[in-house]
Amino acid sequence: MTEVEGSTDLASTWTCKADANNNLITLQYFLNADNPAGETIELFISSIRNPGDYSTPGTLYMYIETTSGGKVDSGSFSGWADGTTLFNNSFIETFTVVAENLVAGAEPVSYQFYVTPHSRVVQGAYLVLDLPSGVEVSDSNGLARGCSDGDISGFSYSILTCTYSYANHQVTLKNGYRFAYSDGDPPSIYFTLTSLRNPRSTAPTDMFNVTIFGDEDSPLFYFNSSDGPSVVMTSAPPPNEIRYERSNEQNGVRSNYSWYI
């Protein structure tokens, strides 16, 4: 939608065309008469996308032409604030985690992750996944080797790299946007992590969390929720062995029993 305001003689209808390939907006037929010198015309144009990161916008060029193609006014604007203060981070709309096995303590187990950010993801971005304390990585090398196994979606490059930080209990996924923006706007991101170990109990875990960072390590998309996905084990495995020893086998006599589990 485009609106034009000013005290000059403005037309009741006009045309507005957008050229995405050249990043150009053309507004035509909005004046019924010449605009007096010093008179301000205000243009309100909607549906302009902010950058997907914190880069400072480049120079905006503006010119007014007559119907015959001659330029009347020509100028530019480059007085933007720095991109790091001009834009704020966006958010992740949905985040779901599914474990393929719900037996407490089972390993290795694959977990599927579904992430939907608010809009497209820029080139160079990467994901950082925070694991709850109950879910562990059973084999970090196996996790790295299996990072691109299985179905993945929402990335523009299919060879992912996964690294695990023991200190932060985080898995970092890179390379998915190494060469281009995301597939989809917004993308439906799906990936699988292998070589995880289920929690040792059937109590609910703490929540998983995920953040999408830009190539300069600035957070672009937060999962803005305190009630995130968790997993609950539905069963616990039997112990490997249960046996006992007793101090006396005579009927009716008090005996000490020792149990070994």
Q: 230 in a domain, yes or no? A: no
Do 197 and 136 form a contact (C-beta atoms < 8 A)? yes
Provide the pLDDT for residue 23. 87
> Considering the domain boundaries, does residue 239 fall inside one?
no
For residue 226, how far is the Cα from the chain centroid? 16
Same-domain check for residues 201 and 156 = yes
Q: Has residue 243 been placed in a domain?
A: no
Residue 184 maps to a domain? yes
Q: Verify that 40 and 124 share a domain, yes or no.
A: no
**Do 31 and 144 belong together in one domain?**
no
Across 63-72, 184-193, 230-239, least confident range: 63-72
Judgement on whether residues 180 and 96 belong to the same structural domain of the protein: yes
Domain boundary among 36, 66, 85: 85
Which residue did the predictor score with more confidence, 99 or 83? 99
Does residue 150 come out as left (phi exceeding 0), alpha (psi in the -120 to 50 range) or beta? left
Q: Residues 17, 122: one domain?
A: no
Report yes or no on 228 lying in a domain.
no
Tell me, yes or no, whether 68 and 109 share the same domain: no
Average confidence (pLDDT) over 215-219:
88
The total number of residues written for the chain in this structure? 261
Rg (CA), the chain: 30
What's at 161, amino acid-wise? T
* CATH code assigned at 125: 2.60.40
- Binning pLDDT at 50, 70 and 90, where does residue 177 land? very high
Final residue in a domain of this structure, among 85, 118, 140: 85
Residues 6+ apart with CB under 8 A from 238: none
Q: Answer for the pair 158, 210: CB distance below 8 angstroms, yes or no.
A: no
Q: Check whether residue 101 and residue 198 sit in a common domain.
A: yes
Query: Which of 55-64, 154-163, 222-231 is modeled with the greatest confidence?
Result: 154-163
In a domain? residue 252: no
135 within some domain: yes
Question: Is 64 part of any domain?
Answer: yes
Residues 103 and 70 in one domain: no
According to DSSP, residue 166 is labeled T
Residues 9 and 105 in one domain: no
Indicate if 34 and 147 belong to the same structural domain: no
Q: What is the mean pLDDT of the chain?
A: 88
State the residue range of the domain holding 33: 2-85
- Number of domains the chain is built from: 2
State residue 6's pLDDT score.
56
**Which residue, of 26, 55, 85, is where some domain finishes?**
85
Residue 202 predicted with pLDDT over 90: yes
- Is there a single domain that holds both residue 133 and residue 190? yes
**Which three-class secondary structure state does DSSP give residue 261?**
coil
- DSSP string of the chain, one letter each residue: -EEEE-SS-B-S--EEEEETTTTEEEEES-BSSPPPTT---EEEE--PPPPSSSPPP--EEEEEE-TTS-EEEEEEE--PPPHHHH---EEEEEEEEEES--BTT--SEEEEEEEEESS---TT-EEEEEPPTT-EES-HHHHHHTTT-S--BS-S-S--EEEEETTTTEEEEESTTSSSPPSSSS--EEEEEEEEE--SSSSPP---EEEEE-TTS-EEEE---SS------SB-PPPS--EEEES--STTS---EEEE-
Same domain? For 100 and 179 the reply is yes
